[in-house]
Structure formats: C-alpha cells, structure tokens
Amino acid sequence: MSLARYIARRLLQAIPTLFILIVFMFILVRVLPGDPARLIAGLEATEEDVERIRVLLGLDRPLHEQFIDYLTDILRGDLGTSLKFETPVIEEILIRFPRTLELAIVAELLSIAIALPLGIISALKPFTKTGALATITSLLGSSMPIYWLGLILIYVFSVNMRLLPSFGYGTPAHIILPAFTLATLLMGNLVRITRASVLDALESNYIVTARAKGLSERIVIYRHALKNALIPIITISGLQLGALLGGAILTESVFAWPGIGLLLLDSIYSRDYPLIQGIIIFYAVILILINLIVDIAYAFIDPRVRISLWKSE
Amino acid sequence: MYRRVGLSTKMVVLGVIVLLVVAAVGLYFSGFLTGPRTTKEELKVAIGIDMDTVDPHMQTTTLVFNIVRHIYETLVWFDEDGNVIPWLAESWQVSDDGLEYTFKLRQGVKFSDGTEFTAEDVKANIDRWIDPNVKVRSRSQLGPVESAEVVDKYTVKIRLKEPYAPFLAALASYLLITSQENIEKYGAESIEEPIGTGPYVLDDWKKGDEIVLVRNENYWGDKPSIKRIVWKIIPEAGTREAALLAGDVDVAFLPPASDKEMLENNPDVKLYTPVTNRILLVGIMPKGPLLDERVRKALNYAVDKEAIVENVLYGLGVVADAPVPPHFFGYAPMEPYEYNPELARQLLAEAGYADGLTLTLMHPTGRYLQDKQVAEAIQAYLQDVGITVELVTMDWPSFVGEILKPTEETTFDLVLVGWGPGVADAHFTLYAQFHSSVAIPNGLGIARYSNEQVDRLLEQAMKELDPDKRKELYRQAIEIIWDDAPWIFLYTQKNLLAVSKNLEGVFIHPGGEMFFFYNAYFT
C-alpha cells in the first residue's frame, strides 16, 4: 500500500521535471541556427523544393501550434516522426539503445576490474614504486584523448596484429577495443576514489579493533577494509554508467559503434528536431526510472531506508 | 554491529545487480558466437553515413543515391565520359519543339517482386514525382515535367512545360524507377520496401550499422560476380582507412586526405581520385569595398590556387579556369587569374585601399576537403597583400543558416563554399549561381550576382536544344562572369576512394562521387 503510494508520488514528481525539460528542449533546438528542410534538401536544392518540404513537414506552422501538437502526441505516448528518416522516433531509439547499453555495461565492468586492484595497491603501498606506478598508470589512462587512443588501438590490434575487428558491432570480439578505450577513460576517477576510500577505511576504528583482536593483516584488509571501501566506488561507477547510457559519442564514432550517441550526433547535425527531443526525453525517463528503482531496491533490503522514504510524510 | 548489518545488506543489493549485469553480458555474448564469414563473393564497403530513406523519389544525398542505384535503375544512364546511354529505355526521340520525349522501353525486364516493367510503371513514377502531396525532395531538378502518357505497353511519352536541354541527364541523375504496384501501396507515404529492376536487392538494413545488398538472380542484364555488397557505416575517416588496411573492408570512401601519400605507397591499396562536380569558391558579397571590381580582381590575384591545391589539398583538386568544372557540358576555359600579389596590391591601391582593409571570411568545418585549412591559407594570402581577414568557423547546419540570410543581415564579406550539382551540365551551376532570380534570399546564388546580359544568355541556353549553340551561349556567359569576378575562383574538388589491390571493375560515375560495383570482381 505505502509502496504503491510512494511510487505514485515519485512518478507524479517526475511529471513537472519532464514538462520543463520538454519545453526547454523544444525551444533550444529551434534556437540553434539551421533549417531542417534546407538540410534535408541539400544546399543545391531550389528554394521552391525546400519550401514544399517545409510545408509537408509542418515546419511552416506557428511555433505554439507545433508545440501543442507535440505535447498532445507525447501524452499519447508518441514521440513523433524523424524529419530525416521519416520513421517513428521511438523506433530509431529502440534500435540504437540496446547497443549503447551493452557497450556501457561492458566498459564499466572492465574499468572496475582494472581500477580496483590499481586503487587498492596504491592505497596499501602509498610510498613505494608499485604504488606510484599504479597512480601514474591511471592518470595516464584518463588523460589520453579517446580519439587518439582508439585509433592507436585499432592500428596495433587490427591493422598490425590482425587480432581484433577494426570497427563495428556484432561479435564479442567487436566490443573489446571500444570497451577498453572507454574503460581507460573511466578508470582514472575510480582508481582515485578506491585509493581514497581504502585509505579512509584503514584509519577507521573498526580496523584498529580488528587488528587489536589479532586478526591477520590479510583478513583485516580484504574482509574489513575493502568491503566498506566498496560503497563509494559502487556509487561512482553507477553514476558513470548512467552517463554512459547517454552514449559515448567519441568512442562510438571512432569505432563505428552504432549506438544512441551517434544517433544523437547525427540528429543534431541534421537539425532533426523530433529526434533530438525524443532522445533527450528518453534519456531523462530512463534516468528517472533508474533512480526510482534503485531507491526502492534499497528500501526493500534496508528497513531504515524504507522508513525514511515513505513514513516521513 | 548495527552498522555492519546495514552495509552487508547493501552488499546484497550490489551483488544482485552485478549478477544481473553478468548474466546480461553472458546472454549478449552467447548470441553472437558465430560471426559472418567473408568470402570473395562478398564486397565490404566502408562509408561515412547511413541511408536516410530507400524511397526512390526522396533521395537527396549522393552517397545514398549511390547505394540505392544498385537496387533501382533509371531510364537512361551515363558512360564513363558522361555521355547519356540507354538503360531501361532502349531508345528515345525528342520532338522538334523539345517538349515531348518518347521512350522505347527494354522488354523482358522484371522487378524484384516479379512484376514486369512496362510503360505503366514509368507513368506511375512520373506521376508520383510531380504529385505536390509527395515529399519528392529534388522535384524541380528533374525539370519542368508536365505529364507522362502510355503510348503502348513498351512506349511512354513524357511532356515538358517548356524546353529543358539537360532533361536526359537529369533523368539519369534523379528518376529511379520502382514498380507501379509499390507506388500504389505506399502512395504519398515514404516507400519502405525497395522494389526495383536493378542488379541487387536489399537484404538487410541494420540502422547505423550496415546495409546488405544481395544479387538479384533474375536481373535482366549481365549477372554481377559479387554476390553480396555490405555497406558498413563508419563515421570516422581514420577508422575507414584502418578498416581497409586491416582487411576488414575492401573499399573505403574518403579516407583522410592527409594520408593520401601513405596509401599511394601501400602495395595492397589502389586509389581513385576522380574529379567531382563540386567547384570550391569564395563568394564575394556585393557590399562596401567589394562593390569595386578592382578589389574583387585583386582578391583573385592574391590567392595562389596552385599552391593550395598542391599543399593543402594534397593534389586533390583542379585549379578552376571557369566557374564550372572542366568535365561539364558548357565548360569554356578562361585566362586564369595567375598568382600575382604585386598586381593585387596595385589594384587595391587604385581602388583607394593602399592602406589595406579588413574583411570577414566565413567557412564551414568538416564539410569539404580540408575546408578549415583552405580558409586559413586564403587568410594568409590576403594578409600578404594588406587585407586583414577575420575567420568565422561554423558547423555545417549553422553555416547554411547564416549563408542564406539577406545581404543586409550578413555578418561576413567572403564565404568559402562548394557547389556540386547532381548533373554535370553548366546549367546547374551557372543558372543556380548567377541568374539574378536566384540571388539569396530568393535562391542559392551565393554572390547575389545580377547581370541582365548573363540572365538572358542563361535563359536562352536552358531552352536551346542545339548542343553547339548551347555551348556558345554558356561560353559568352562565362566570359562575363569571369571578368566580373563575383567569386574568388578556387578549384574543382577531387574525390578519394581507396580500394584493395585485387578489386577490379569499379564503375566511377562521371560526377566523381559515386562508385558502382555491379561489374566489379576480385582477382
């Protein structure tokens, strides 16, 4: 009962957020210079042809009429039709989104797999050569331009060694290079956070207690320090994953990974208003839902969270 | 104790999430354990953008037209030199007044849905092309078409409202033929199922990823030796090149121009660099000091076009000696504005600008070959004769928005832009750029040029059916335009296509931007 009410309340709260977003998007994309009809027809097209396209696309109508129509369509669950592709916006999004999701998840897992050991090592051996090496590696990774790193990886692993496909999407082998490139970028933050939280944990009272109890250093570190240090790490990787779902445009572009980032780029480049708006709204809805699900999941497990969430009103 | 319990419950949540993720990844991987095998009957082509539509009448992008022209065909077509040749039409006759074109159609041609190709189909395509309710995007490019009429099963007559000399070339460049049945099925809606008579049919289209064509086994003409053409969408030029070098594709459209020399020296790669229909120019706005012809000529003398083509374009250009590319019908070479900074300074001084002047040059980025670098080179050359140039760099959509503003509202004096019509006929460049009726904002005349004599010549040339007389009219128009110097005449752009050494038989469209693989084969 109270859970249903909580969900309903959260969803209601999301409506004004979405509405403001839609209004802003609607205005912003139209403030951008550039005329979709002209871009569809091409520079060499005659003004007559462009004008007819403008009329057939409904772009000649007053802005407020267009906006009201758009809003009515959204209320019916219709994100409109792409000006360029002439297909439903939602269809274009649903084709691309799963691909971005795959890349984001694999990249995130990979970055965790690399960053955790590096962070731990640099925390446990802060003033040794190994520790310094771990820190430097992570810094290097996050400082390399994606475009450059991506092309270097393609040349080494595809052109020279012929081990991995140079681009595209499809088999597991295809995801290795783009995921690794993204992971390299992400791990800088993760290593720093890991290092800081492990150092933090090592100084806390329960570690002192554990050591005083005479536990071996291995148990102290792995069972007590690391476990507690994981929380901020997970939070950061969750945030990163959310951001990646919007599409890692540069990585998708270098590796021709046909995800939603490339679609967004393309839609902006062709001033495809319904498509730009649709992608942003879709992304906003996903983020709102993810937040809600995470909160509910925590509440289910932890009674204290449950109380603070919906008994507090 | 209490604190520890709280944390471990969170760990459970995280554990569950991680498990779900791992499961999802596992499922993803298990689904794709067998990838497609490359055989030498399959050709992989790396291109920069996806198709927008497979509707034969809504094409606007050269590359997309290139792809779907393997599926659909045209009544007439081009040979390598740009001559119009029979295709779906075996022969044709033009009435003396130039208003009626009667086509005899090839017999025994079938669409990929099995129906026979007849005059009814041609009529249905023309009807849809001129139907104002259909979003035909390049309608006026085909010409002033009035109607189509079925004479008998294999004869069709197309009527024009007024004579239009480039009509056959326009037919070859725009009117793709689908079946009458398909047109009735979709009506004014966008055609989603490409039914054509061509050597290939669409097998699969994974949006943003790849387009797969397979051989049409019932094709009326010579059967292609390549069974499958897979067009791979790779937005980055550097990646297209790497994919070719890695052997993942056989053809790469537009690899980075800066790597041209490296590719030339690679024994596994062949390069094609055909001249395109696109001429690059700096449009000179008719305002302020630029109204003075001497200043416009000074600009032309000040810029070393040869050096730009050689050093900035890596040779991928042909210096312009006319406002149209050299392979166009109606091209007439003029005395070039040789690089001469002395003369430029002198002309500026005569015009009263001995102390120099300041101009703004707007240019797009990422649109034309080395566009930003070319703009910077022009800036340097003009600086050298005492003209201070401020560069304004814009992305393509903003650039197009800005360029189309009325003269009073423009914030620039010079604009670097390319003009590449679909048909290699002087009409499509000269009329669209220099007839006074098309001066921006009424049309796309970049330099807002207006000259009554030129207007008359261009109008006459459009309707003149005698090729020699037509050429002469264009020569006269070009002479006046060249001398007026409303542009800095730069160069015609070349294309760059890299293919693997063992691929032969690629047909290069005379426009230099399309490549056809229906006669291609691996050695």
Which secondary-structure segment (H or E) carries B398? helix B396-403
Contact B461, B477 (CB under 8 A): yes
Write the residue in A154, A172, A259 that is nearest to B239 by C-beta: A154
When divided into structural domains, chain A yields a total of 2
Crossing angle of the two packed helices B2-30 and A273-301, in degrees rounded to 10: 140
On whether both A31 and A107 belong to a single domain, the answer is no
On whether both B433 and B372 belong to a single domain, the answer is yes
- Within-domain flag for A196: yes
On whether both B328 and B465 belong to a single domain, the answer is yes
- Within-domain flag for B292: yes
On whether both B461 and B518 belong to a single domain, the answer is no
On whether both A274 and A202 belong to a single domain, the answer is yes
Write the residue in B13, B208, B245 that is nearest to A262 by C-beta: B208
Q: Give just the sign of the alpha carbon dihedral B402, B408, B411, B413.
A: positive
DSSP string, chain A: -HHHHHHHHHHHHHHHHHHHHHHHHHHHHHHSS--HHHHHH-TTS-HHHHHHHHHHHTTTS-HHHHHHHHHHHHHTT---B-TTT-SBHHHHHHHHHHHHHHHHHHHHHHHHHHHHHHHHHHHHSTTSHHHHHHHHHHHHHHHS-HHHHHHHHIIIIIIIS--S-SS-SSSHHHHHHHHHHHHHHHHHHHHHHHHHHHHHHHTSHHHHHHHHTT--HHHIIIIIIHHHHHHHHHHHHHHHHHHHHT--HHHHHHTT--SHHHHHHHHHHTT-HHHHHHHHHHHHHHHHHHHHHHHHHHHHH-HHHHHHHHS--
Mean pLDDT to the nearest integer, B165-187: 95
- Within-domain flag for A184: yes
- Within-domain flag for B318: yes
On whether both A49 and A117 belong to a single domain, the answer is no
On whether both B347 and B429 belong to a single domain, the answer is yes
Domain boundary among A16, A40, A75: A75
- Within-domain flag for A83: no
Is the pLDDT reported for residue B43 higher than 90? yes
Contact A286, A94 (CB under 8 A): no
Domain boundary among A15, A47, A75: A75
Q: What is the CB-side half-sphere exposure of residue A210 using CA atoms within 13 A?
A: 18
On whether both B245 and B357 belong to a single domain, the answer is no
| Weakest mean pLDDT among A222-236, B69-83, B116-130, B364-378 | A222-236
- Within-domain flag for B14: no
On whether both B414 and B481 belong to a single domain, the answer is yes
Mean pLDDT to the nearest integer, B330-356: 96
Q: Give just the sign of the alpha carbon dihedral B195, B198, B200, B206.
A: negative
Looking at residue A146, what is its pLDDT?
A: 87
To the nearest whole percent, how much of chain B has pLDDT over 70? 93
Looking at residue B30, what is its pLDDT?
A: 46
The answer, for A158 touching chain B at a CB cutoff of 8 Å, is: yes
- Within-domain flag for A192: yes
To the nearest whole percent, how much of chain A has pLDDT over 90? 34
Mean pLDDT to the nearest integer, A226-230: 76
Q: From the CA of A242, how many Å to the nearest CA of chain B? A: 14
On whether both A173 and A296 belong to a single domain, the answer is yes
Q: From the CA of A255, how many Å to the nearest CA of chain B? A: 7
A247-264: pLDDT as tens digits: 688 999 999 999 999 999
What's B176's domain CATH number? 3.90.76.10
Looking at residue B12, what is its pLDDT?
A: 52
To the nearest whole percent, how much of chain A has pLDDT over 70? 94
Is the pLDDT reported for residue A181 higher than 70? yes
Separation between Cα atoms, residue B33 and residue A207, nearest integer Å: 47
Phi and psi angles of residue B522, each rounded to the nearest 5 degrees, phi first: -95, 140
The answer, for B24 touching chain A at a CB cutoff of 8 Å, is: yes
Looking at residue A203, what is its pLDDT?
A: 85
On whether both B266 and B305 belong to a single domain, the answer is no
What's A186's domain CATH number? 1.10.3720.10
On whether both B152 and B213 belong to a single domain, the answer is no
- Within-domain flag for A240: yes
On whether both A166 and A21 belong to a single domain, the answer is no
Is the pLDDT reported for residue B8 higher than 80? no
- Within-domain flag for B234: yes
To the nearest whole percent, how much of chain B has pLDDT over 90? 83
On whether both A70 and A110 belong to a single domain, the answer is no
For tokens 């497979």, name the residue.
B54
The answer, for A43 touching chain B at a CB cutoff of 8 Å, is: yes
On whether both B230 and B110 belong to a single domain, the answer is no
Report CB contact under 8 Å: A151, B238. yes
Mutate to test the interface with A, among B212, B236, B411, B438 (most CBs of A within 10 A): B236
- Within-domain flag for B356: yes
On whether both B427 and B477 belong to a single domain, the answer is yes
Looking at residue B345, what is its pLDDT?
A: 96
CB < 8 Å from B in window 236-295 of A: 253-256, 258-259, 262-263, 266, 269-271
Separation between Cα atoms, residue A43 and residue A129, nearest integer Å: 60
B384-399: pLDDT as tens digits: 999 999 999 999 888 9
On whether both A25 and A116 belong to a single domain, the answer is no
Phi and psi angles of residue B231, each rounded to the nearest 5 degrees, phi first: -90, 115
Domain boundary among A52, A75, A98: A75
Structure tokens at B480: 């006046």
Write the residue in B208, B232, B444 that is nearest to A263 by C-beta: B208
Looking at residue A305, what is its pLDDT?
A: 67
Provide the pLDDT confidence category of residue B17 given band limits of 50, 70 and 90. low
On whether both B384 and B249 belong to a single domain, the answer is no
What's B424's domain CATH number? 3.10.105.10
Separation between Cα atoms, residue A195 and residue B418, nearest integer Å: 54
On whether both A23 and A125 belong to a single domain, the answer is no
Could you tell me the pTM of the whole model? 0.86
On whether both A305 and A162 belong to a single domain, the answer is yes
- Within-domain flag for A82: no
Mean pLDDT (chain A, rounded): 86
Domain span including residue A24: 3-75
Looking at residue B3, what is its pLDDT?
A: 39
| Weakest mean pLDDT among A303-307, B125-129, B170-174 | A303-307
On whether both B158 and B80 belong to a single domain, the answer is yes
| Weakest mean pLDDT among A36-40, A176-180, B209-213, B490-494 | A36-40
The answer, for B21 touching chain A at a CB cutoff of 8 Å, is: yes
B113-136: pLDDT as tens digits: 999 999 999 999 999 999 988 888
On whether both A159 and A218 belong to a single domain, the answer is yes
- Within-domain flag for A188: yes
Interface pTM (ipTM) of the complex?
A: 0.83
Mean pLDDT to the nearest integer, B490-498: 97
Report CB contact under 8 Å: B232, A167. yes
When divided into structural domains, chain B yields a total of 3
Q: From the CA of A58, how many Å to the nearest CA of chain B? A: 12
Crossing angle of the two packed helices A89-124 and A226-245, in degrees rounded to 10: 150
Looking at residue B230, what is its pLDDT?
A: 97
Amino acid letter, B80: E
- Within-domain flag for B465: yes
Of residues B360 and B400, more confidence is placed in: B360
Contact B284, B269 (CB under 8 A): no
- Within-domain flag for B262: yes
Mean pLDDT to the nearest integer, A228-240: 76
Q: From the CA of A284, how many Å to the nearest CA of chain B? A: 21
CB pairs under 8 A between A and B: 190
Structure tokens at B132: 């104002």
Looking at residue B28, what is its pLDDT?
A: 52
Looking at residue B212, what is its pLDDT?
A: 98
Q: From the CA of B12, how many Å to the nearest CA of chain A? A: 8
Is the pLDDT reported for residue B428 higher than 50? yes
On whether both A131 and A227 belong to a single domain, the answer is yes
Provide the pLDDT confidence category of residue B16 given band limits of 50, 70 and 90. low
- Within-domain flag for B238: yes
CB < 8 Å from A in window 42-71 of B: 46, 49-50, 52-53, 55, 58, 60-61
Mutate to test the interface with B, among A29, A30, A40, A44 (most CBs of B within 10 A): A44
**Residues in chain B, overall count:** 523
- Cα nearest neighbour of B52 on chain A: A85
Looking at residue A204, what is its pLDDT?
A: 84
Write the residue in B24, B208, B245 that is nearest to A159 by C-beta: B245
On whether both A69 and A160 belong to a single domain, the answer is no
Of residues B443 and B491, more confidence is placed in: B491
Domain span including residue B113: 74-186
